């Protein structure tokens, strides 16, 4: 039977791994590596606070004593992290079993010992992070450059800036990355965590927010969190930079930009007969009959400055060359979709600034269909839509396009009038008004 070998320094904290999470006591714990664990075994079963992981999903995290390793303190074994030779990343996620609750002036110190294995010495920086939950979003992070003395290095990392109270148990992540033709092995033991005031250490962590773009993004949201950077007052062009249209067909493309209002738009290099509305950013007209690309310089300008970039108008058989951004009615309204719902959504997208950020479409999915017009055989809208044209005009006035669902089947997915009819009148067996 595998035994628990984790040693807690705070009385009562040993039950954290069993109960799920402890109360908000100051963090203080020590983890000794006493039992060897083959990398093919379950490390967590032996050390419940440890969750091993690696980039290539190859097992290469374990615990052992080896003649090529330095002697462990008090006979303690080493956690090893195998990198190099095709596996560039290995590491450890720790579940401290207790949420972080900060008092004024508090910091958290994470201490550990690194070791150098003969012939496989790990020399790249070790990345250490505190996370808002085990394996979660980094709060603060630090890089530790190995500097072994007699094959070992005692390290203390102090975390202060960027910390905040957590709703779940605090996590610690150790990341070993070294891309070499030969194996490299990071060694670590004697992990200690403490929380308090006046803590000192050799390495100071920095807030993860200051390393934007350098940390893995975790999209899970706990509570109310706004991850989108705040928009500045100066104009910044958004939306697609490539627009496809078939020869001779109408062009309808809205140039979008964030920034302090009002924003004026201009464009140089547009094809003949094509123009831009300076106030709304709509580019309208007809595409040339000749296929090919036209490079247009678009500019957004306000009282704080200007922003310019190139827009490519591609005339040919290919359209929808960039993924459209927008809203679809099905998952919100299903059969309850109505003209008012579409108008409300278009207004909200504009008022919330999403249109400024490049949102383009308000799409009506299934369930808008009524009966066929007896003369033209066209499908008319049902009674939930009073005036389709007026509704589309309103959507366009918000700088957006309106999309609509259709099908070649005799009935739609929801059972409404489809595009094909079994008789001259175009009537299917099931018609919904």
Q: What is the rounded CA–CA span in Å between residue 411 and residue 305? A: 53
Name 405's Cβ contacts closer than 8 Å, sequence gap at least 6. Answer: 363, 364, 365, 366, 368, 412
HSE on the CB side for 236, CA within 13 Å? 10
pLDDT digits (tens, 9 = 90+) for 142-191: 999 999 999 999 999 999 999 999 888 999 999 998 878 888 889 999 99
**What stretch(es) of the chain map to CATH 2.60.40.10?**
236-315
129 vs 11, higher pLDDT:
129
3-state DSSP helix/strand/coil percent for the chain, to nearest 5? 10, 40, 50
pLDDT digits (tens, 9 = 90+) for 284-302: 999 999 999 999 999 999 9
* pTM score of the predicted model: 0.52
User: How many residues appear in the chain?
Assistant: 433
400 touches 349 (CB < 8 A): yes
57 vs 193, higher pLDDT:
193
Q: What is the rounded CA–CA span in Å between residue 105 and residue 1? A: 44
pLDDT digits (tens, 9 = 90+) for 307-335: 999 999 999 999 989 988 999 999 889 99
Buried b or exposed e, range 191-225, using 16+ CB within 10 angstroms: bbbbbeeebebebebebbeeeeeeeeeeeeeeeee
Q: Is the pLDDT of residue 346 over 60?
A: yes
Q: What average pLDDT does the segment 367-371 reach?
A: 94
Q: What is the rounded CA–CA span in Å between residue 100 and residue 131? A: 10
In CATH, 13-211 is 3.30.1490.190: no
pLDDT digits (tens, 9 = 90+) for 377-394: 899 999 999 999 999 999
Look up the CATH number of domain 236-315. Answer: 2.60.40.10
Instruction: Using DSSP bridges, classify how beta strands 78-84 and 28-31 pair: parallel, antiparallel or unpaired.
Output: unpaired
pLDDT digits (tens, 9 = 90+) for 213-230: 554 544 444 445 566 778
**What stretch(es) of the chain map to CATH 2.60.120.200?**
13-211
Residue 430: helix, strand or coil by DSSP? Answer: coil
Least Cα distance to 10 among 24, 20, 155 occurs for 24
Q: What is the rounded CA–CA span in Å between residue 350 and residue 363? A: 15
Task: State the average pLDDT for the chain.
Answer: 86
């Amino acid at each position: 039977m595998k035994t628990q070998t984790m040693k807690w320094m705070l009385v009562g904290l040993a039950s954290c791994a069993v109960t799920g999470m402890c109360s908000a006591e100051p963090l203080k714990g020590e983890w000794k590596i006493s039992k060897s664990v083959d990398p093919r075994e379950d490390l967590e079963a032996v050390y419940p606070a440890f969750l091993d992981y690696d980039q290539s999903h190859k097992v290469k995290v374990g615990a052992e004593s080896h003649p090529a390793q330095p002697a462990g303190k008090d006979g303690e074994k080493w956690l090893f992290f195998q990198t190099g030779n095709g596996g560039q990343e290995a590491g450890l996620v720790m579940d401290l079993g207790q949420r972080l609750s900060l008092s004024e002036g508090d910091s958290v110190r994470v201490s550990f010992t690194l070791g150098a294995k003969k012939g496989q010495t790990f020399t790249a920086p070790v990345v250490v992070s505190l996370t808002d939950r085990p394996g979660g979003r980094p709060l603060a992070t630090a890089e530790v450059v190995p500097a072994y003395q007699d094959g070992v290095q005692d390290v203390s990392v102090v975390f202060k800036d960027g910390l905040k109270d957590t709703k779940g148990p605090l996590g610690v992540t150790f990341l070993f990355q070294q891309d070499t033709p030969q194996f490299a092995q990071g060694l670590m033991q004697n992990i200690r965590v403490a929380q308090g005031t006046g803590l000192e250490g050799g390495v100071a962590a920095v807030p993860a927010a200051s390393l934007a773009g350098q940390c893995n993004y975790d999209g899970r949201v706990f509570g109310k969190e706004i991850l989108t950077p705040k928009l500045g007052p100066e104009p910044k062009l958004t939306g697609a930079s490539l627009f496809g249209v078939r020869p001779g067909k109408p062009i309808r493309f809205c140039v979008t930009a964030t920034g302090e209002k009002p924003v004026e738009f201009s464009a140089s290099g547009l094809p003949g007969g094509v123009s831009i509305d300076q106030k709304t950013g709509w580019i309208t007209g007809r595409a040339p009959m000749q296929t090919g690309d036209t490079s247009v310089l678009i500019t957004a300008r306000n009282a704080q400055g200007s922003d310019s970039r190139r827009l490519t108008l591609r005339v040919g058989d290919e359209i929808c060359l960039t993924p459209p951004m927008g809203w679809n009615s099905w998952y919100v309204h299903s059969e309850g979709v109505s003209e008012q719902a579409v108008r409300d959504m278009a207004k909200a997208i504009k008022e919330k600034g999403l249109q400024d950020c490049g949102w383009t479409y308000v799409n009506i999915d299934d369930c808008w269909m009524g009966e066929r017009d007896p003369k033209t055989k066209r499908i008319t809208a049902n009674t939930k839509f009073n005036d389709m044209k007026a509704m589309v005009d309103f959507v366009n006035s918000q700088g957006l396009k309106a999309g609509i669902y259709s099908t070649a089947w005799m009935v739609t997915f929801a059972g409404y009038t489809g595009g094909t009819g079994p008789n001259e009148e175009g009537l299917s067996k099931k018609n919904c008004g």
